[in-house]
C-alpha cells in the first residue's frame, strides 16, 4: 500500500532516532559516574552554565514574581481573595515558574552554546582529534557539561525562587499596599518543603536535559556551518519540548495522587 | 616493497565500507612496513580519509580486517582501542587544533591527558616540539585563532609528534597552503618521521608532496588499491589511471563525477 509506506518509514525513523538518543544518553551517563573526572573542565562548565546564567534567570524570575502579584491581585479581588496573593506567588514560583522558566531560558542560552561549540568541534575534526589523542570525547566534552548542567540548575532555581518571591513582595507592598509583615508571614506559612524540593528536582532534570540535547545534537552535526546551525536549532527546540514533558511527569510523580 | 617475512606495521585486508548505497571502499588491501612512509593518492571522494578513520576506529568497516603489529583492531573499543590509538597520531587536514586551548596546551594535550605529565614539564616539551617544527617559544601562548594556515599545520605537526608515536597519519598535509609553505611542511614531515623512526601513512592529491614524503606510493581508485610501487617507478607505471592522475589530465580512464 503506497499510503502506508511513508507512515511506516516515518515510524521506523522515529524508533531509530529514539534508539540512538537512548544509546547516547546511556553512554554519556555512564561516563558521568566513572572516573577519571576532569575537575578543571567540570568547574569551567559550572561557571559557564551557572554563574553566567544568573542575570538571565534573575531577571526572568523577578519579573515573573512581579507579574504574578499583579495578576493575582486583579483577578482575585473580584472574589475578595486578594489576601491569597502571597500564597499564589510562593506556590507558583517555587513549584512551577522558577524551574520551568529558568529551564527554558537556560535551554536557549546554554543548549545553543553547547550545540554550537561541540558541533563546530565535530565539523572541524576536533572531536576526531580527541580520539586520536586517546581521550574519550564523552569523558572530556560531554560528561563535564552534563554534570555541570544537572548541578547548577537547581542552584540557579533556588536563587530564582528567592528573587521571584521578592518580586511579588515588592509589587504587593509598594504598589498594592499590602502590609509587609503580613505578606511575609503568609509567605512563610505557605512555603512548603515539597514545593521547593520538587522545583529543585525539576531543575536538576531540566539542566541534564539542556546539556544532553546540546551535546547530542552538537556531537551528531554534519556538514559545515549549516549543519552546526541546524544542530543549534534542534538542541534548543528539543530541550524546550523535553523540559515541558519532563515537567508534567515530575509534577505527576510529586503531586499526582 | 615490504618484506613478506616481517609482520607489517599496518596490514589491511578486504576492507569494505559503504554509506547507504555509496560503496566507498570495496575490498581494499594494503601493507605498510615498519618505518616506511606510504602515500595514498587518489581523487577527491575516493575514500582516502575513510581508510584512515577506519584504522583509528572512528568508522566501523562493514567487513575486512585491519591489523596493527599483527593484532586485529577492528571492533576494539574502550581501553583496548585507546592502547592502539596511543601508538598512532595524526595531522588533520584543517589541523583540528582545539581552539579553547592555547598553542602549547594543544601540543602537550596528549602528554597532559593520557601520560599524566605535570603541566610545567609538559609545557617544556611542547616548546621543544614547537622548535622542531620551526616555531619560537613566543608562539606557545598564542591561541589557534591567531595563527595563519601554515602555522596551524606546524602546530598540528608538533602535536602529532609530541608523544613520540610509532605511526603518524597525514591527511592532505599541504592542502590550502601556498607551494612554498607546502614544501616547508613536506620537509618537516620527512624530518620528523625519519627523526622518530616512525611509520608514516599519508593521503594526498598533491603529487609534489607525494613524491617528496613517500617511500612508496599507492593509488586508490573505486575503493581498491589499483597500483602501488616505489616513488621512482611512478612515472613508468604503465598504468593509465596513474598516468592520468599524476599528470592531472581531465581525459582518461578516470571519469570525475562532476555532478553527483
Q: Do B85 and A134 touch (CB under 8 A)?
A: yes
Q: Would you state the cell numbers that stand for residue B253, as one nine-digit string?
A: 580512464
**Residues of chain A contacting residue B86, judged by C-beta atoms under 8 Å apart:** 134
ipTM of the complex: 0.86
Q: Do B53 and A135 touch (CB under 8 A)?
A: no
The predicted pLDDT at position B260 comes to 42
Q: Do A134 and B58 touch (CB under 8 A)?
A: no
Q: Could you give the number of structural domains in chain A?
A: 1
Q: How far apart are CA B190 and CA B214, in angstroms?
A: 9
The predicted pLDDT at position A162 comes to 95
Contact of B91 with chain A, judged by CB distance below 8 Å, is answered with: no
Rounded to 10 degrees, what is the CA torsion of A11, A15, A17, A18? 130
Does residue A22 lie in a domain region?
no
Helices (H), chain A: 4-33, 39-49, 54-76, 85-92, 98-106, 112-123, 126-132, 137, 143-174, 180-190, 193-219, 224-255
Contact of B56 with chain A, judged by CB distance below 8 Å, is answered with: yes
Q: Do A134 and B97 touch (CB under 8 A)?
A: no
Q: How far apart are CA B69 and CA B35, in angstroms?
A: 12
Does residue A54 lie in a domain region?
yes
Positions in chain B short of pLDDT 70: 1-5, 256-260
Specify burial of residue A73 (Cβ count, 10 A radius: 0-12, 13-18, 19+).
buried
pLDDT per residue as tens digits for the range B141-199: 999 999 988 899 999 999 998 888 999 999 998 888 888 888 988 998 898 888 888 99
The predicted pLDDT at position B256 comes to 65
- Single out the residue of A18, A11, A9, A8 nearest to residue A238, CA to CA: A18
Q: Do B88 and A132 touch (CB under 8 A)?
A: yes
| Sheet containing B37-41, strands listed edge to edge, beginning at the edge strand earlier in sequence | B88-91, B167-171, B199-204, B37-41, B216-221, B224-230
Alpha carbon distances (Å) from A151 to A79, A157, B160: 42, 11, 36
Does residue A131 lie in a domain region?
yes
**Residues of chain A contacting residue B159, judged by C-beta atoms under 8 Å apart:** 133
Does residue A141 lie in a domain region?
yes
Q: Please tell me which of the candidates B94, B109, B159 has its beta carbon nearest to residue A125.
A: B94
Peptide bond connecting B173 to the previous residue in cis, omega within 30 degrees of 0: no
- Single out the residue of A128, A151, A154, A152 nearest to residue A140, CA to CA: A128
Does residue A23 lie in a domain region?
no
Helix (H) or strand (E) holding B39: strand B37-41
Contact of B109 with chain A, judged by CB distance below 8 Å, is answered with: yes
**Residues of chain A contacting residue B90, judged by C-beta atoms under 8 Å apart:** 129, 132
**Residues of chain B contacting residue A124, judged by C-beta atoms under 8 Å apart:** 94, 96
Nearest CA in chain A to B55: A132
Does residue A241 lie in a domain region?
yes
Tens-of-pLDDT digits for all 257 residues of chain A?
Answer: 678 888 999 999 999 989 999 999 999 999 999 888 889 899 999 999 999 999 999 999 999 999 999 999 888 888 877 778 888 999 999 999 999 999 999 999 999 999 999 999 999 999 999 988 888 899 999 999 999 999 999 999 999 999 999 999 999 999 988 888 988 988 898 888 888 999 999 999 999 999 999 999 999 998 888 999 999 999 999 999 999 999 999 999 998 77
Does residue A24 lie in a domain region?
no
The predicted pLDDT at position B258 comes to 55
The predicted pLDDT at position B200 comes to 92
Q: Which domain holds residue A63?
A: 45-255
Helix (H) or strand (E) holding B71: strand B71-72
Q: Would you state the cell numbers that stand for residue A225, as one nine-digit string?
A: 556551518
Does residue A124 lie in a domain region?
yes
β-strand pairing of B224-230 with B216-221: antiparallel
Amino acid at each position: 500500500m503506497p499510503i502506508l509506506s511513508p507512515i511506516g518509514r516515518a515510524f521506523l525513523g522515529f524508533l531509530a532516532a529514539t534508539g540512538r538518543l537512548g544509546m547516547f544518553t546511556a553512554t554519556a551517563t555512564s561516563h558521568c559516574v566513572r572516573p577519571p573526572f576532569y575537575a578543571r573542565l567540570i568547574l569551567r562548565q559550572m561557571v559557564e552554565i551557572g554563574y553566567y546564567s544568573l542575570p538571565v534567570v534573575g531577571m526572568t524570575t523577578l519579573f515573573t514574581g512581579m507579574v504574578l502579584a499583579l495578576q493575582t491581585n486583579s483577578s482575585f479581588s473580584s472574589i475578595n481573595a486578594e489576601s491569597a496573593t502571597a500564597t499564589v506567588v510562593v506556590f507558583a514560583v517555587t513549584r512551577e515558574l522558577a524551574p520551568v522558566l529558568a529551564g527554558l531560558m537556560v535551554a536557549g542560552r546554554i543548549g545553543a552554546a553547547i550545540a554550537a561549540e561541540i558541533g563546530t568541534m565535530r565539523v572541524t575534526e576536533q572531536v576526531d582529534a580527541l580520539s586520536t589523542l586517546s581521550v574519550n570525547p564523552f569523558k572530556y566534552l560531554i560528561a563535564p557539561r552534563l554534570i555541570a548542567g544537572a548541578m547548577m540548575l537547581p542552584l540557579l532555581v533556588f536563587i530564582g525562587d528567592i528573587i521571584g518571591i521578592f518580586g511579588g513582595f515588592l509589587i504587593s507592598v509598594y504598589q498594592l499596599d499590602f502590609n509587609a509583615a503580613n505578606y511575609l508571614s503568609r509567605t512563610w506559612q505557605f512555603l512548603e518543603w515539597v514545593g521547593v524540593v520538587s522545583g529543585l528536582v525539576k531543575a536538576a532534570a531540566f539542566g541534564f536535559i539542556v546539556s544532553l540535547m546540546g551535546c547530542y545534537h552538537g556531537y551528531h552535526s554534519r556538514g559545515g556551518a549549516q549543519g552546526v546551525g541546524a544542530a543549534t536549532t534542534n538542541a534548543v527546540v528539543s530541550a524546550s519540548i523535553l523540559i515541558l514533558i519532563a515537567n508534567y511527569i515530575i509534577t505527576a510523580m510529586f503531586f499526582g495522587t | 616493497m615490504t618484506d613478506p617475512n616481517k609482520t607489517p606495521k599496518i596490514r589491511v585486508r578486504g576492507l569494505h565500507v559503504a554509506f547507504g548505497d555509496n560503496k566507498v571502499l570495496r575490498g581494499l588491501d594494503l601493507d605498510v612496513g615498519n618505518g616506511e612512509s606510504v602515500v595514498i593518492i587518489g581523487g577527491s571522494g575516493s575514500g582516502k580519509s575513510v581508510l584512515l578513520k577506519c584504522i583509528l576506529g572512528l568508522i566501523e568497516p562493514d567487513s575486512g580486517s585491519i591489523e596493527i603489529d599483527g593484532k586485529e583492531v577492528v571492533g576494539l573499543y574502550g581501553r583496548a582501542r585507546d592502547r592502539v590509538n596511543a601508538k598512532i597520531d595524526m595531522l588533520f587536514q584543517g589541523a583540528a587544533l582545539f581552539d579553547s586551548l592555547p598553542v602549547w596546551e594543544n601540543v602537550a594535550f596528549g602528554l597532559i591527558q593520557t601520560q599524566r605529565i605535570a603541566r610545567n614539564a609538559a609545557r617544556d616539551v611542547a616548546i621543544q616540539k614547537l622548535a622542531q617544527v620551526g616555531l619560537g617559544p613566543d608562539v606557545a601562548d598564542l591561541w589557534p585563532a591567531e595563527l595563519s594556515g601554515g602555522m596551524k599545520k606546524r602546530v598540528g605537526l608538533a602535536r602529532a609528534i609530541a608523544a613520540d608515536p610509532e605511526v603518524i597519519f597525514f591527511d592532505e598535509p599541504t592542502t590550502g597552503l601556498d607551494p612554498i609553505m607546502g614544501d616547508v611542511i613536506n620537509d618537516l614531515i620527512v624530518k620528523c618521521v625519519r627523526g622518530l623512526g616512525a611509520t608514516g601513512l599519508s593521503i594526498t592529491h598533491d603529487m609534489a608532496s607525494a613524491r617528496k614524503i613517500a617511500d612508496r606510493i599507492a593509488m586508490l581508485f573505486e575503493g581498491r588499491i589499483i597500483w602501488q610501487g616505489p616513488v621512482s617507478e611512478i612515472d613508468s607505471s604503465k598504468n593509465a589511471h596513474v598516468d592520468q592522475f599524476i599528470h592531472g589530465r581531465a581525459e582518461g580512464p578516470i571519469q570525475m563525477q562532476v555532478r553527483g
